[in-house]
């Protein structure tokens, strides 16, 4: 009996030892697993760090590219400014050269007198100033011809001592020229002048006989 008991005790001890060994093995396995997990975490952290570094490098490259683009734009602007300065210098030099080497323009013609009527002369000067063009006068014993140059339009009016009135509708480019014929018009007769103004619409057809309009 004692032997049996001893054997049982030994068996129990052996079992306990085996259990302890198993526990130790399990602990070792757990430790190994933990170590592996830690290693994996470290690897993941390293990968994340590498990704962050790559992102930083990409950002730096983008910044460098933007800086290069800005520098190129600045260089282009500087080149454009230099070209503009060169063009201005060339234009100034060309203008100076042409103004100093070309022949001077001919002198303006002497002042023109249509009639001895002061009011008619004043009205003609107002007309030329209203049109904003240049006038060239041709005088002959029987008629006076005036050429108006205004924006490519040439208006030629031939008349004999005509009283001349015009108005210009700028937006419609409508020119109305009314000329009527008088051999003698008193200089200071205001009533006669106002009467002639009233007769403008009536004498327009008669004045077209003496007036040639070329638009």
Across the chain, mean pLDDT equals 64
**Whole-prediction pTM:** 0.31
CA 63-65-68 angle, to 5 degrees, is: 110
Over residues 43-77, the pLDDT tens digits come to 999 999 999 999 999 999 999 999 999 999 999 98
Range list of H helices, the chain: 2-101, 118-131, 190-198, 200-207
Which whole number is the average pLDDT over 134-145?
A: 41
The dihedral of CA 88, 93, 97, 99: what is its sign? positive
Over residues 157-181, the pLDDT tens digits come to 433 333 344 333 333 334 333 433 4
pLDDT confidence of residue 163:
38
């Amino acid at each position: 009996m004692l032997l049996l008991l001893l054997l049982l005790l030994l068996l129990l001890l052996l079992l306990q030892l085996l259990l302890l060994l198993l526990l130790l093995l399990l602990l070792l396995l757990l430790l190994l697993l933990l170590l592996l997990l830690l290693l994996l975490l470290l690897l993941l952290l390293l990968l994340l760090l590498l990704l962050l570094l790559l992102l930083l490098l990409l950002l730096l490259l983008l910044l460098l590219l933007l800086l290069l683009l800005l520098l190129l734009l600045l260089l282009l602007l500087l080149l454009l400014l230099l070209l503009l300065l060169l063009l201005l210098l060339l234009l100034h030099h060309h203008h100076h050269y042409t103004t100093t080497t070309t022949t001077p323009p001919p002198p303006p013609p002497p002042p023109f007198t249509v009639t001895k009527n002061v009011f008619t002369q004043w009205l003609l000067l107002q007309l030329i100033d209203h049109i904003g063009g240049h006038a060239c006068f041709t005088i002959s014993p029987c008629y006076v011809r005036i050429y108006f140059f205004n924006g490519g339009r040439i208006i030629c009016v031939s008349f004999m001592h005509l009283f001349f009135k015009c108005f210009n509708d700028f937006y419609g480019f409508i020119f109305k020229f009314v000329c009527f014929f008088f051999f003698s018009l008193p200089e200071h007769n205001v009533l006669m002048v106002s009467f002639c103004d009233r007769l403008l619409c009536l004498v327009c057809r008669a004045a077209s006989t003496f007036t040639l309009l070329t638009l």
